[in-house]
Each structure stands twice: as structure tokens, then as C-alpha cells.
Chains A and B, each alone.
Chain A
Amino acid sequence: MNTPVEQFREDATRVAADEQHRRLIQGALGKYYVARDRQVGRFQDWQSARQAAAETKWEAVNHLDQHLVSFAEKLEARGGKVFWANNSAEARDYILKICREKKARCIVKSKAMTAEEIHLNAALEKDGYEVVESDLGEYIVQLRKEAPYHFVFPAMHLSRGDIRELFDREIGNVKSDNPEDLTMVARRVLRKKYCEADIGISGANFAIAETGMISITENEGNARLTTSLPRVHIAVMGIEKVLPRLEDLALFLPMLGTAGAGQAITCYNSMIGGPRQPGECDGPEEFHVVLLDNHRTRLLADPEQRDALHCIRCGACLNVCPIFKNIGGHSYGTTYQGPIGSVITPHFRGLQDWKHLSNASSLCGACTSACPVKIDIHHHLLHNRRNAATQKPRWWEKLAYKIAAGVLNWPEFYAFATAVGRVMQKFHPLVKGSVLDPARAWTKTRELPQVAPQSFRDYWRARERKP
């Protein structure tokens, strides 16, 4: 069994060299960039909107206890049930208990990354329930028995041909690879499931402290059907999802749509504040909200990186990340891929096991610029590197930097080393690219620069000697 870092190196190296993958992702994201730029351009002041959104989430996260208490009280007053889960196991057990009590057979799910995080499907299936993902992308990856590739675009790595083949094999008689035809195939299959399902499980994009509502953002209508038709609705959400006031959504919904998918606002933004109320003609009889900690409080306890809990899971940082685009979502091996995943996963699952994700970054900062709530993403990668090295330094790396410091702080020796390098590089072709090449990591794919005949220091000395 590979360790996370070994698995990462293996997968990332393979996908990075896969030119078909590169083309597919560039094609998909090319469309996203055009749409996003158009929407951002329609804002009168995108930067001020980002700052206001960041400050609103700061307020929410830095008074999280008050907001959660208010959210739970308001929702309970309207007949909703709130379950506080310390960890994955508690959340799973609670949901399984409801399924048993309701004698559920079929469970329909709309997209919920928290459900991925707690491995809910596996637990439900193990107990014999039929679980159907209703978001098209999630449905596709469920049929393929793989994890979502991207937490907003789960099937972005697949071509229409891949999906046609999959549907033909799993559903039967699918000949067209036209995206519209393929979507209609899924529509037909899933329609039946909505009408049959006893329980609907969803995530939540926001929780409104003031009114005790959850807000769900989607495009397909699958979440609306999931939360309208079954007798029981269970929403699983992280504790950090709160916003103080209902009106905050007037800012956050357009920002989420713009940053996430290049839409002014996504197709359906639904606020659910309880089960069916007196006088209402439909909606579930029971509404449960599972509030999941699962180490979020560990991240909360780090003030330097606390803003990582401001994340609204729009996926913008993945979409602009050159690492993500080249290694793909599955290489991360995490529930949350991309830059934000690299920041938070070490807090959730252990720094030493997951620090490699923070190292696998050129620190270009595209993520931070794209983030609609101004999370300092790429600097947090640096913080994770520092924390990992402080907690458990690698002796050889520490020694190497100590020696380097010694050389750099002794300019005469440094100049001498440069001169040696100038001579040594004449012999470099003899070993270049072989196992004896000290620069092999570089020279395997790239040419090394040459040490100049005259360094800048030499130039300066010569110049100063002149009258």
C-alpha cells in the first residue's frame, strides 16, 4: 500500500504527461474563463465585493459559536432537527439510524462534498440501501465507481465518448455521444428515482444564522427535487457554512455563481427553513440538518489560517490552478482538491501525511487572486510548509540549508564556488541525464543554464577598478 505522498507522486507524474487529459481540461476551463471574465466585468466593483464578502465570512467564522446556536434554535423552532456531529462516524451513524427508522429503501442524493468527506455512500450501501447520486456529474462518477474529479465539476475529466460508453454499459442502448442526448438519458433514469425515494440527502452551501435556513446552489434542479419529493430530507453541512443574515445571500449568491461557474447567479438558489409547514401542500415531513465538525475546529484554532474556513467551495481556485490543470483532481487523493484542498487537508487528516500537497506548488498565487472571499491560499501553503518543517524537520534538508547559508554568507567562498561551477559544467555533458547527474531532476526535461564567463560580481569589480 502506497503512502499518500508516494501515491501522489505516481498519479501526478502520470497525469502530468497525459496530453489528452491536458487538452480536455484546457478545453473545459477555456469556456469557464470566458464566462467568468464576462460576469466579473458586469460587476461595478468586483474587488470591493470580494472585500465585503471576506469581511462577512470573517464575522461569521469568528463568532461561529453564536451563529451556530442561533441557526439551530431558529430551525428547531420551525420543526427542523439539528444533529451535532463531532466526526464522520457520528454523522454516518445518525443518518443510518434515520434510514432504519424510516424503513427506507431508496435514497436519492444531491451533491454534497461533506457526504464524500464522511464516506456516506459506502456506509449506506453496506447496510443495503440503494443510493443514487442525482447531480449529472456525480451520477457519472458514481457509475464509474470513482471519486469526484473536481468538487464543482465532478466529471470534468471525461469526454463525451467516455460518458457514452459508460452509459451504454451501465444503462444500456446508448448510441449517441451528443451531450444533450446523454443528459436526457440520465434525466429519464433519475426521474423515476426522485418519485420513488424515501429519503433525500443534500449538502448546503450556506446556513443562515438569523433565520435558521440552509441555502442550496445548483443548476440542474436535482437538489430541488431531492429536497421536495422524499418524505425525509437530511442535509449534511460543515459548521463553517454560516452567514449571519438572510440578506447576505444577496451578495454571496452572485459571487458564488460568478466565481464558480461564470454565471450571474446559478439556476436555482433555494433557501430551506424547515420541513413542510402548516398550510403547505408538499415538502418533506422531516428535515434534519447534520452539523459536522470533523476537525474543522482544529483549523479554527489556527488564527493564521482560520480564513481557510471562509471557503464557499466555488472551485475558482482549482479552475485557475496550473498544478490542478496538469495533475488533475484525482491525483490529490483528497475530498477537496486543488489549492484550498492542499491548505485544509493537512488540518483535517494530519500535517505530516499531507504536507506534500503544500510542497507541490509553485506558489504562483493565481488561487488567491481568484478567491471570491480573499482567502490567503498560497501563503497558507507556505505556512503549512513552515509548520511541517518546524514540527518534524528533515535533517538532510536542514543541514543543506545550513551549509548553503554558510556559503552564501561567505562571499569569497561563494565566488570560488561559482568559478568551480564554471569549470565543472564543461564536464557536465558526460553525465547529463544519467543517474550520476546531480541536476537530473532538472536535466531530464530541460537544459541547464550556463555559468557566465564573467559573473556580475566580476563585472562590477572590473568596473570599479577603472578610474
Chain B
Amino acid sequence: MSAKNEILGRIREALREPAPVPGHHGDHGKAQLHASAEFSQWLPAVGEDLASQLDLFAKNSADLKTEFHLLASREEFAPRLRELAQQNNWKRVATHSGALTDMAVPAIGLPTLKTDAGYEVNAMEQCDAGITECDALVAQTGSILITSRSAGGRALSVLPPHHVVLVTRAQMVPDLAAAYVVVREKHGDKFPSFISFITGPSRTGDIERILVLGAHGPKRLTVFCC
């Protein structure tokens, strides 16, 4: 018999006797799977309109040390990116093809690694910044939703020391449950192999619980939102 069948057999044998549901003090109450729409009444509150969600995202970003900039229009992506490159003395950057990146990244005028058709890991490691798009911004948590399809693969948003996200206001969603809706609407059940919520620059508290940014991933996270 295979280990799979042995394990499943033991599980089924074990489950013949029912277990009490937590929080019902021994009497066999019923457990239910709560619809994700219900979560929003328990989790931290989020306003319904875009303006309050942008405010909340900005406030969360400040707490998280995400550098969040609201731009007036998408024409501002290129100059703001160029400014950031100059301030930080970038030598080379990495990015992927996309409506927003294609418009803004060439304007920096630096050697650019594109990940779309594959790349050398060591070459990416040498880049000063990874510039990506994303699938959504999550107001409730200050998170950025990326997938391996929307953000130039798995590593582009984590390997270079500075991650820059280009995003539009229309991509704001209130909470994580709404972010999953975005993923499902885009991909049906053909999910990308990698989906991630990025919430602030990389961090650690492993030494005396003192916060240090840039543990292994980016030390800085900049979001330009138009």
C-alpha cells in the first residue's frame, strides 16, 4: 500500500469520532465556513470610497516605511523615476514589459535588464532597482499584490535592493479578499505559479526584536501611483 493510502486511511479512521467545535464548550455546535465577504466586519475598518482608501494606504505606507507617492497623471511616471534614479545614483535597472513600465522606464536612460524572455540571475543581482507593475494595492494592509505574470517573474521584485512599483489609482482595492477577486477575474483557475502580497520593504527583527530594513529583499520600496 502506498504511503498516500496509509496516511489517508489513518486520517479516515481517526475522523470516525467527531470533535467538538471550538468556542462551544463541549456541546457539539456547528462549524461554518464564513464567506470572505464577512471578514470585513471583523478586520480593521476600510472606507468605501477611493479617496479614503488612498488615505489609508498612504497612512499604512508611512507606518511600513513604504515610500508612497500619488501622481497627478501617468505622464509623471517618467520624470519621477528619472529623478529617483539620479538621486540614488543608479547604474542599471531591471524591469519587464508592460503598459506602464514601457512608458516610463526607457526615460531613465540607463542600461536596462528585461526579464520577459528570461535573465541571468547574477546580472539581475547587479541592478540597483527592480521596476515592476502590480495587480492591486490593498488599502487595509498597505500591501501590493503581484504575481509572476504581472510583475516580471518571481525575483524581479525581491532581488534588487530597491523595488519600484508603477500603479494606477483604479487598481486600489479595500482588502485582501477583494485582491483575491482581482486575481480570479484576471486568471480564472489558471493561476500564475506565484502570487504575493508585498507589505513594505524587507525587514527583520531577529536581533533583539529591533526593526532592520532590507534583511534579504529590498531595503527600499517606492510606489508611484497615478
Contacts and interface: CB of A to CB of B under 8 A. Distances in A.
Given A58-B22, A187-B216, A245 B33 contact: yes
Given A293-B7, A301-B14, A283 B204 contact: no
B15 A134 contact: no
B8 A224 contact: no
B4 A84 contact: yes
Contacts of A65: 8, 11-12, 15
Contacts of B34: 52, 55-56, 251
Secondary structure dominating the interface of B: loop
Contact of A300 (B4, B15, B195): B15
A280 B192 contact: yes
B19 A32 contact: no
A282 B119 contact: yes
Contacts of A186: 215
Interface in B1-60: 2-4, 6-8, 10-15, 17-23, 31-34, 36, 38-39, 41-45, 60
Interface string B127-144: 000000000000011110
Contacts of B60: 264
A246 interface: yes
A268 B208 contact: no
A329 to B, nearest CB: 14
B45 A267 contact: no
Interface residues of A, number: 115
B125 interface: yes
Interface stretch (B69-77, B84-92, B98-106, B146-154): B146-154
A290 to B, nearest CB: 11
A361 interface: no
A194 B202 CA distance: 16
A269 B198 CA distance: 7
Contacts, number: 315
A43 interface: yes
B180 A44 contact: no
Contacts of B177: 247, 250
Given A51-B23, A261-B205, A303 B17 contact: yes
Contacts of A228: 153-155, 158-159, 194
Contacts of B199: 263-269
B197 A265 contact: yes
Given A55-B31, A221-B217, A222-B216, A68 B8 contact: yes
Most buried by A among B60, B121, B158, B207: B207
Contact of B142 (A43, A229, A264): A264
Nearest to B213: A180
A281 interface: yes
A272 interface: yes
Contact of B36 (A31, A84, A250, A275): A250
Given A86-B3, A86-B6, A254-B43, 19 more contacts: A45-B41, A54-B31, A136-B207, A155-B207, A179-B208, A213-B191, A219-B205, A220-B215, A220-B217, A227-B154, A254-B176, A268-B197, A269-B197, A271-B196, A280-B149, A282-B115, A282-B148, A297-B14, A375-B22
Closest 9 CB pairs of A and B: A221-B217, A220-B215, A228-B154, A301-B14, A247-B36, A137-B206, A250-B176, A54-B22, A297-B10
